[in-house]
Structure 1
């Protein structure tokens, strides 16, 4: 181990003996009391020395070995240390690709703050490369989500949509103006490749999948929907299963009131899926559906019909009526929705349970105030989530036990007061 005080956290002295790491309260940590010699040793914990060399440096500063070990232990317990050489072979391979790592350093710094373990950040980042996400929809929202996920290091991002890119699809984070008239699927593939810091190898290690512990899972490592192919002299390789599907249709109604019939394949295969879109000037992110553990599209449909008896009649008219030639999808709002949806998706892929699980977040213009709309499982929905006790807690427990490659999150020590 080559310990390094997490470089993402700014350091400041509250007084002569108390040091604060971090500015924002969510990740700020205060340590003290600390004498001048120990403060000098902090500057040497920069990833270039192992524990033995740090003990030698401590001797030069008049600090016994036990004091150096105690300091490293305190920093580790506080979640303030990274291991500059840890993470195993996947991390070493990434470090050797300096041009790739340079692209991802801001993401790595962020991940190091959400995991207390010294190798947590680099392990999460390398795990992303072994994941496959599907984005359904390639408009202003969907294309931008795909670009962000690819740029953040997700190994494979597939985009499904038909037709050709229209002028109204162009967005700074998505399709460029030069793509107008191109097939959406082909243009989306180019966008994803252009944003990726590194193309995933055709023959990769098995991808990590994240599926419902309450669904029937195939016995194969690649999961439902996996296919075999051959490459390089007929040697088989695995087409990875989906870790997540992001449903971001160009018609925002399909995100606001998703058709349960269209989510049947996700529910049957136990594939987590997240809804996102813009409808009539209102941004929508969520819910994140964990099949069998959280509210699904069917729960949404049944719950709304129960509260509003006219809802099924109105919804049938909206779905069957003539589509509007222009969607009310403000560019700034669409970009905001795409950013939040991608952030929730990455948080889930990194092993967390974002606030969109069991909740739909709505952002209407012009107030621009994110409003949480809890979405509970419906007792009559065949998904079965309503019949389980604490299903989201059970989801976390089972997934931690099943997936040895998952990175378990932890709470952070925060500044007192």
Structure 2
């Protein structure tokens, strides 16, 4: 192990015995009591030294026997320590890809904020390369979303859509202007390849046997260009995903409103069918309206503001990455909405409905959360009280928080 204090967190002394790691309410915490000698020793925890060399440095600084080990263990338990050589074989292989890491060092630093075990952030970044995601829909939202996933290190991003690129599909990060007239799916795939930090791993190196068949997708994102399908997704469109147990996430823009979610865990959380049944309970005319919207003549130009579409693509990609990294983002069991011109994001729950054939209501909605209840034996670790109150005030109602 080559211990390293997580460089993503700013460090400062609150007083002579208390160190604060981090600035923002979401991740800031204090550690103490900490003497000045131990505080100086923190600068040596930069990933360039193993434990034996660190112990030697501790003796040179006249630190008591065992103090270095206790300090390292305390920082590790607090989630403040990383391992410059940790993460397993896949992480070791990734470290040899300098160009890849140079592109994704900001992403790696961000992952370190939400992981606890030393080396875990690098392990999760390496795991992204073996993930396969399919994006269904390559309009202003879908094409950008697919590029973001590839750019964040997801090794296999596939895009499905029909037709040809229209001028209204062009968006930064998605279809370029010179792609107008090209097949929409091919143009989106080129955008994915441009965004990727390196060539995707081969199917066999990613754990897919050339003879053993296809293991399926880790996640499917449904980002339809049809605004009715965005606002009122047809349960039939996800029937095969539900049958195969494939997690899927909805995203899109309809009439100046951006929508992200729900992220459906088949058989466990509310799905498109649950959404339809719940809406029908509230509004008996809902099925009649849906039938008219789906059968009516489509508008030539759908209202899909470029900045809102890009915002939706970014948020949906963030939720997708959180799920791929083993988290439960707030779109599990909820739908996030944001409308122009106010641009206030709000979450609406999508609960499992007893009338839906997905049977999620029968099994009950599990909370996909894990709280770190560990204690610290030698140092007190806590969030600054003022920051803690601010964090609670800023947390929207109905959001989910996942901790390792």
> Is TM (by shorter chain) over 0.5?
yes
Note the C-alpha offset of 1:202: 2.3
Unpaired runs of at least 5, structure 1: 208-221, 223-227, 230-235, 398-407
Aligned partners of 1:274, 1:411: CA distance in 2, in Å? 30
- Show the counterpart of 2:63: 63
- Show the counterpart of 1:214: none
Q: 1:409 to 1:123 in 2, by over 3 A?
A: farther
Aligned partners of 1:238, 1:32: CA distance in 2, in Å? 54
Aligned partners of 2:382, 2:343: CA distance in 1, in Å? 29
Aligned partners of 1:383, 1:57: CA distance in 2, in Å? 60
Task: Work out whether residues 140 and 170 of structure 1, in 8 Å CA contact, stay in contact via their aligned partners in 2.
Answer: yes
Deviations 1:327-358 (A, max 9, x none): 11111111111111000000001101111111
Task: Work out whether residues 114 and 410 of structure 1, in 8 Å CA contact, stay in contact via their aligned partners in 2.
Answer: no
- Show the counterpart of 1:416: 384
- Show the counterpart of 2:38: 38
Out of 262-271 and 197-206, give the one that drifted further. Answer: 197-206
Aligned partners of 1:321, 1:175: CA distance in 2, in Å? 28
Partner of residue 350 from structure 1, selected from 313, 317, 325: 325
- Show the counterpart of 1:204: 204
1:69 is paired with a residue whose SS is: helix
1:31 is paired with a residue whose SS is: strand
Q: 1:157 to 1:42 in 2, by over 3 A?
A: same
Out of 247-256 and 150-159, give the one that drifted further. Answer: 247-256
- Show the counterpart of 1:29: 29
Unpaired runs of at least 5, structure 2: 375-380, 386-404
User: Equivalent residues in 2 for 1:105-144 (5 A)?
Assistant: 105-144=105-144
Aligned partners of 2:214, 2:358: CA distance in 1, in Å? 27
Deviations 1:144-180 (A, max 9, x none): 1100000001010000001111111111121111211
Aligned partners of 2:50, 2:371: CA distance in 1, in Å? 26
- Show the counterpart of 1:330: 305
Aligned partners of 2:265, 2:362: CA distance in 1, in Å? 14
Note the C-alpha offset of 1:414: 4.9
Out of 173-182 and 129-138, give the one that drifted further. Answer: 173-182
- Show the counterpart of 1:362: 337
Q: 1:380 to 1:49 in 2, by over 3 A?
A: same
- Show the counterpart of 2:366: 392
1:54 aligns with 2:54: yes
- Show the counterpart of 1:377: 352
User: Equivalent residues in 2 for 1:115-264 (5 A)?
Assistant: 115-207=115-207, 229=210, 236=211, 238-264=213-239
Aligned partners of 1:91, 1:49: CA distance in 2, in Å? 19
Task: Work out whether residues 114 and 409 of structure 1, in 8 Å CA contact, stay in contact via their aligned partners in 2.
Answer: no
Partner of residue 314 from structure 2, selected from 319, 339, 362: 339
Task: Work out whether residues 134 and 244 of structure 1, in 8 Å CA contact, stay in contact via their aligned partners in 2.
Answer: yes
Note the C-alpha offset of 1:73: 1.0
- Show the counterpart of 1:19: 19
Aligned partners of 1:186, 1:297: CA distance in 2, in Å? 28
Aligned partners of 1:146, 1:206: CA distance in 2, in Å? 19
Query: Pairwise CA RMSD of aligned residues?
Result: 1.7
Aligned partners of 1:313, 1:190: CA distance in 2, in Å? 40
Aligned partners of 1:351, 1:317: CA distance in 2, in Å? 40
- Show the counterpart of 1:294: 269
Aligned partners of 1:108, 1:344: CA distance in 2, in Å? 16
Deviations 1:67-97 (A, max 9, x none): 1111101100110000001112211111111
Aligned partners of 2:371, 2:167: CA distance in 1, in Å? 42
1:79 aligns with 2:101: no
Note the C-alpha offset of 1:411: 7.7
Aligned partners of 1:122, 1:380: CA distance in 2, in Å? 43
Note the C-alpha offset of 1:410: 5.0
Q: 1:365 to 1:27 in 2, by over 3 A?
A: same
1:269 aligns with 2:275: no
Aligned partners of 2:203, 2:157: CA distance in 1, in Å? 16
Task: Work out whether residues 203 and 237 of structure 1, in 8 Å CA contact, stay in contact via their aligned partners in 2.
Answer: no
Out of 281-290 and 60-69, give the one that drifted further. Answer: 60-69
Task: Work out whether residues 173 and 191 of structure 2, in 8 Å CA contact, stay in contact via their aligned partners in 1.
Answer: no
1:190 is paired with a residue whose SS is: helix
Q: 1:346 to 1:56 in 2, by over 3 A?
A: same
- Show the counterpart of 2:4: 4
Q: 1:109 to 1:89 in 2, by over 3 A?
A: same
Note the C-alpha offset of 1:142: 0.4
1:361 is paired with a residue whose SS is: strand
1:46 is paired with a residue whose SS is: coil
